[in-house]
Amino acid sequence: MAGMASQSPAAPGPAGSPSGNPAPEHALLLNDSASEWLGVEVLELADGQATIAMTLRPEMMNGFGITHGGMIFAFADSAFALACNPADGGGDAVTVASGVDVNFLAPTRAGQRITAVARRRQQQGRSGLYDVQVFADGGGNDGGANSGSRGSSAVVHEGSNGTVVAEFRGRSRTIPKKQ
């Protein structure tokens, strides 16, 4: 993404969309070191919507060998922020999180590619409500063999984007932009 600081060797940067087309750009990402470190790739942007992707790396895993929940949360939060704010960064206000709830539904592992799809559900004045679904492909260093819950009969939802691994609901508030 244009204007971003140079990337560390451990965190290869976004290379545009998988189709080879240039990735949509968003003004928020010009100074977003967290999304840069995560390796966030912007796939689609529209008013109140954003779709992003990244590949999970070994340094994102916790002591159980699965992705640290904070990494999934940060990834979903980046999609939320992109959906809340105009891509051109224009205007005299910014929209920030006023609160979130996240449910982790299935584990992910290093090597898996995850996608977050954020959509505005409701907007009333300066307050908004957004849903973000995080999907994972079947990859990972175990070939997906351990992607289910321990002996659980839980239903794992799969769709065209892969397996739903987290659901994130964000509450937003629009505030004046600092000058």
Residue 3 has pLDDT above 90, yes or no: no
pLDDT band at 138 (very low <50, low <70, confident <90, very high): confident
What structural domains does the chain harbor? 27-144+156-176 (3.10.129.10)
139 contact partners, CB below 8 Å, separation of at least 6? 111, 112, 113
Residue 94 has pLDDT above 60, yes or no: yes
With residue 72 as reference, give the H or E element that holds it.
Answer: helix 69-84
177 contact partners, CB below 8 Å, separation of at least 6? 91, 92, 93, 94
pLDDT at residue 4, rounded to an integer = 36
Phi, psi of 51 (to 5 degrees): -125, 125
* Predicted model pTM: 0.79
Of residues 165 and 23, the one with the higher pLDDT is 165
* Per-residue buried b or exposed e for 102-139, using 16+ beta carbons within 10 Å of the residue's own CB: bebbbbbbbebbbbbbbebeeeeeeebebbbbbbbbeb
pLDDT at residue 75, rounded to an integer = 98
The token pair at 168 is: 């994130």
Per-residue model confidence as pLDDT tens digits over 13-25: 444 444 455 668 8
- Mean pLDDT over 89-104 rounds to 95
Percentage, residues of the chain above pLDDT 70:
74
Pairing of strands 93-104, 113-124: unpaired
- Mean pLDDT over 112-133 rounds to 98
Amino acid at position 34, single letter = A
pLDDT at residue 63, rounded to an integer = 98
Q: Cα separation of 167 and 133, whole Å?
A: 5
